[in-house]
A and B are shown apart, each in its own frame.
Chain A
Amino acid sequence: METLQNLSLGLSVALTLTNLSWCFIGVFIGTVVGILPGIGPPGAIAMLLPLTFKLDPTSAFIMLAGIYYGAKYGGSTTSILLNIPGEPSSVVTCLDGYQMARQGRAGPALGIAAIASFIAGTFGVLGLMLAAPPLARFALRFAPPEYFAVMSLGLTMVAYLTGKSVVKGLLATFFGIWLGIIGTDLFTAQSRYTFGQVELVDGIDFTVVSIGLFAVAEILVNMESRVKADLFKLPKGLRNLLPKLQDLKDCRFAFVNGTLVGFFVGLLPGAGATIASMISYGIEKAVSKHPEKFGAGAIEGVAAPEGANNSDAGGGLVPLLSLGIPGSNVGAMLLAALYLWGLRPGPLLIHEHPELFWGVVASMYVGNFLLLILNLPLVPIFVQILRLPYFALYPMVLGISIVGVYSVNYSFLDVWLMGFFGLLGYLMRKLHFPMAPLVLGMVLGKPTERALRQSLMMSQGDFTILFMRPISATLLSAAVIILLSPTVQRLSLREKKGPQRV
């Protein structure tokens, strides 16, 4: 009953003309960003972040969230028509979506992708609505030791799950934490690593780092090589885009699978939509009566991953909005945005700003519906974006990056730093250093340090406080187990291989 009352509050916020407009702008930009292979949601959100400072936080969050989940709809279009994923989580959709297009079934492939995205996306929001408030209420019991533990666990999971090398994940995390603590120490007002620059006393702005790492670095990666591909023609008319009744029947399990896998994987920091879509595709293939059809144009092979990567958006917002712990690049940006707008992300956010949480939840229901319209009857119009020459696009992205960074503090140093982080992001990609741990480390660096120092103030310097309280002890133990698991795995593998060598 309370949930329904809160939802009606959310609808009253989301259905105002202003917020409906921001929701539409968000999902529209999201769809475009998803379709364009050259720029992803993190880059788009990073570039738009400075422009949201003048907006009401609820409207701004509705728009940025719209870009986040909207891009997941758009990402399938290029996967199906070009065999190039518009964003990383759509990579699995290429396997069967492109084969369907080759067989002349591009319309039903796009249709089922939109329908699966809508169903899973909507249920993902339902999960967010039901899971986040109780989790936030539970987290109200948290004191600094628990906050330190939960942030440590989040950072560990992100370092462990993103990328293939734990060492690189950890290095990125700690480098991010170091970037986050540059500036004035909160407790003693001493300057740290400011290099004598007054502009660094308040630290390096998150926008500067994120635009450099995502927008500029993305352009540099794309400058290396351009993949030329032929765009499949789309059938005309909505009827030809809609899947047949048999297609929908075939995808029944895929809808459920995608929704559940996407939501639960989304809850885990660091796992992300790409892993969710891969797992759901694997499950779908494993339980299928015709696994041999997968990879050759099975419609379930499009529905399951597309559902999973949309449901993941709802799951990913649960820890972000209830605990203040982001699980991905985009989550880190949304968290940074909440700080920039002067809000306090964490368990009190839902209690102190119910209009924001419930407004965003309600807007996501509306947004998913808008996206269904944008991605079914209007998809032929969006496809025309792919005909835009890249040489006209990337200078604009670089220009928006410069203007976006400069407009934060009107500082030339910020623009220089953005250029530096652009190169850093490019080199990180070349060397397979994951980005998510760096941005999460940067966002959570100061709060983690604050929680640790407050914990030790509580215990008068006794570190055992972190292990004597049940919740923090459990969370920290989980973090230690995660950290040690690769070593344990390696040792057990060596033991198994040992006798064979002899």
Chain B
Amino acid sequence: MTKGDVWAGLILAGLAIFIIQQALVLDYFSEYGLGPGFLPLWLGIVIFTLSLALIGIRILGRPEAFENEGGTSAGTGRALATWGGLMLAIALLNVLGFITSFVLLTFLLVLVMDRRSPSTSMVVAVGGALGFYLVFSAILGVPLPQGPWGF
């Protein structure tokens, strides 16, 4: 996974620059000794150095941890599509409430990702949502995000 590691190194190096930039705004020393900027500054420097080391190791071809998790691009696509569905459901939480968002998420995942029939998908989605409502809302009293329908 040479490319992946190089990308990871670049992203982490970018994060390190951000950490350093913000740390420079904070006090390095304070009246109590070291200030709030001390640790972040050094963290940023170390992360930056290690990121470059990671990129260097990959480009120079050191045999350290060279293998990847395996899997296919189709598999990665399935995982990312599931994540996209989750993020969509999170975006809808505020608008539709938990129960409706969960029904939509489950229905789509089971129907599209698992290629089950619409009726099976709906049974899993509605049954699951009902279970959540009973356990968390009715029994445990956890206030779930509500939609315009009151649930």
Interface residues of A (CB under 8 A from B): 51, 163-168, 170-171, 174-175, 177-178, 181, 185, 187-188, 190, 192-193, 216, 219-221, 223-225, 390-392, 394-396, 398-399, 402-403, 406-407, 410, 412, 415-416, 419, 422-423, 426-427, 429-433, 449, 452-453, 456-457, 460-461
Contact = CB atoms under 8 A, between A and B. Distances in A.
Interface in B130-150: 131-132, 136, 140, 142-145
Contact of A410 (B1, B26, B136, B143): B143
Give the contact-size bracket for chain B: 35 or more
Nearest to A457: B33
B132 A452 contact: no
B47 interface: yes
Given A185-B36, A188-B32, A223-B79, 7 more contacts: A178-B40, A188-B36, A192-B36, A193-B40, A220-B83, A399-B128, A406-B144
A181 B1 contact: no
A86 B125 CA distance: 26
B98 A403 contact: yes
B47 A171 contact: yes
Nearest to B85: A398
B100 interface: no
A163 B43 CA distance: 21
A398 B113 CA distance: 15
Contacts of A225: 71-72, 75
Contact of B12 (A163, A175, A407): A175
Given A185-B36, A422-B83, A423-B83, A175 B128 contact: no
A406 B82 CA distance: 20
A431 B68 contact: yes
A419 B83 contact: yes
User: DSSP class of A's interface residues: helix, strand, loop or mixed?
Assistant: helix
B109 to A, nearest CB: 6
A145 to B, nearest CB: 13
Nearest to B30: A188
A192 B44 CA distance: 13
B1 A430 contact: yes
Interface in B1-22: 1, 4-5, 8, 12, 15, 19, 22
A427 B11 CA distance: 12
A193 B105 contact: no
A396 B51 contact: no
Nearest to B108: A395
B59 interface: no
Nearest to B67: A432
B122 interface: no
Contacts of A406: 93, 98, 144-145
27 contacts: A164-B65, A165-B65, A167-B54, A167-B57, A167-B64, A171-B12, A171-B50, A177-B39, A178-B43, A190-B26, A223-B78, A224-B71, A390-B114, A391-B113, A396-B128, A403-B132, A403-B136, A403-B144, A412-B145, A419-B90, A423-B83, A426-B79, A430-B68, A431-B1, A431-B4, A453-B38, A457-B33
